Amino acid sequence: MSRLGICVLGAGDMGRTHLGAWQTVPGAELVAVADIDPERAEAAKNEFNVGGCFTELAEALDQPGIDIASVCLPTHLHRTAAELAMRRGVHVLCEKPLAMTLDDGEAMIATARECGVKLALGFCKRFMGQTQRVRELVQSGALGRPVMYRVVSGVEIRFKPWIMDKHLGGGPLIDVACHYVDQWRVVFDSEPARVMAMGTTFSTGAPELPGIDPEIDTASVLVEFASGDMGLLSLSWGLPRGTRSPSQEDLMGRHGVIRFEGSTKLTVMKPGGEQQVFDELDRDMHPKQVAAFARAVRENGPVAASGEDGLAALRVSLAALESIRTGQARQLPQQ
Ligand SMILES: NC(=O)c1ccc[n+]([C@@H]2O[C@H](COP(=O)([O-])OP(=O)(O)OC[C@H]3O[C@@H](n4cnc5c(N)ncnc54)[C@H](O)[C@@H]3O)[C@@H](O)[C@H]2O)c1
């Protein structure tokens, strides 16, 4: 197994997740970790046995023998960090969402092409057993077509203020909606065609968010796909501390229902009340994601989720925000 030198940019929650995941890949050597917070960088270095820790991204990337960078920084920094790496000939696995704007996302894709390196997006849910099984069921016609895939959730104002900000993280419609748009694209094997949304900002003026300009945090978004399938996302990140609303994820079609239960189980409900249960589905998505990226780099093969996949999801997020602001449905260009 050829050696791969790894640099992880950001030592927050996802940086630590990537470090742990990279440790499971044979031949991967953790060369450097960077975080603006020196204590976090140092703690990550010690816990994951990384070669060196740095507070400057460029300094970390300048260490000898780096082949791959995991970009695990707040979203507004994705383009800068990814381009720093790619311009050094380093392949990039960038956490979702791709970027805050289409211009930034397109520039990242162009830089990867220009530098001859791979750019992959951290759409880790593609590696969940539930996503793969739901795709098989829908594609085999188990529910009939079209289907409606719903995701409903409501949580407290997020504990990382940057993620709620219009310019730093984009609130839930940028930050987390991309996971579901990606899942819909995978499961339907189709592209989004039309987006309608309504929303509001519960967290305006919240004392938990000093100095933050919160993006819309509460919305219902309906996405129609070219296949006729529909994705519905109804969520809030603006609930008061100490409260939450039950989550629900399901698919409905003329021949039945698929219900998600936890992160490892699916129940298919068929006509007449018959049920089929899929249990103990794989949820170990991050080790699988980095292993797949290592394989793509070593074998010069395709990545599991590309910059273009990130852009497709970002287009829907931005269209949803625009639909909320204008009160109009948005048609999406068919790529
Ligand atoms: N794949 C998933 O399911 C998933 C889950 C959570 C977050 N994410 C994404 O991962 C990214 C990181 O999120 P997180 O939850 O790890 O955030 P986090 O706030 O926990 O970590 C971000 C880290 O970046 C550091 N940082 C900030 N500015 C920096 C700079 N200029 N230079 C160096 N370090 C800097 C911070 O000190 C912090 O340690 C975001 O894009 C987020 O949307 C993905």
What is the whole-number distance in angstroms between the Cα of residue 79 and the centre of ligand 1?
Answer: 13
- Mean pLDDT of the 225-247 span: 97
pTM over 0.85: yes
Atom of ligand 1 nearest to the CA of 11: 39
The residue to mutate among 95, 127, 155, having the most atoms of ligand 1 within 8 angstroms of its beta carbon, is 95
Name, in order, each residue with C-beta under 8 angstroms of 198's C-beta and a sequence gap of 6 or more: 219, 220, 323, 324
Atom of ligand 1 nearest to the CA of 162: 19
At 17-56, the pLDDT tens digits run: 999 999 999 999 999 999 999 999 999 999 999 999 999 9
Helices 307-326 and 102-115, packing angle to 10 deg: 170
Residue with CA closest to ligand 1 atom 18: 12
**Integer Cα distance of 127 and 9 in angstroms:** 22
**Integer Cα distance of 89 and 117 in angstroms:** 6
Residue with CA closest to ligand 1 atom 6: 14
Mean pLDDT over the full length of the chain = 98
- Mean pLDDT of the 116-124 span: 98
- Domains of the chain, by residue range, sit at 4-117, 128-282+314-331
Residue 1 pLDDT grade (very low, low, confident, very high; cuts 50, 70, 90): low
Query: Rounded to a whole number, what is the distance in angstroms from the first to the last CA of the chain?
Result: 38
**Integer Cα distance of 85 and 93 in angstroms:** 10
For residue 334, pLDDT beyond 90? no
H helix intervals, 76-209: 78-86, 102-115, 129-139, 171-175, 177-188
Counting every residue written for the chain, the total comes to: 335
128-282+314-331: CATH class:
alpha beta
Atom of ligand 1 nearest to the CA of 123: 1
Place of tokens 């720093």: 84
- Mean pLDDT of the 245-272 span: 97
What three-state secondary structure class fits 234? strand
pLDDT at residue 70 in the model:
99
At 72-96, the pLDDT tens digits run: 999 999 999 999 999 999 999 999 9
Contact 308, 113 (CB under 8 A): no
What is the whole-number distance in angstroms between the Cα of residue 72 and the centre of ligand 1?
Answer: 5
At 174-223, the pLDDT tens digits run: 999 999 999 999 999 999 999 999 999 999 999 999 999 999 999 999 99
Q: Which fold has domain 4-117?
A: Rossmann fold (3.40.50)
Backbone angles phi, psi at 119, to 5 degrees: -125, 115
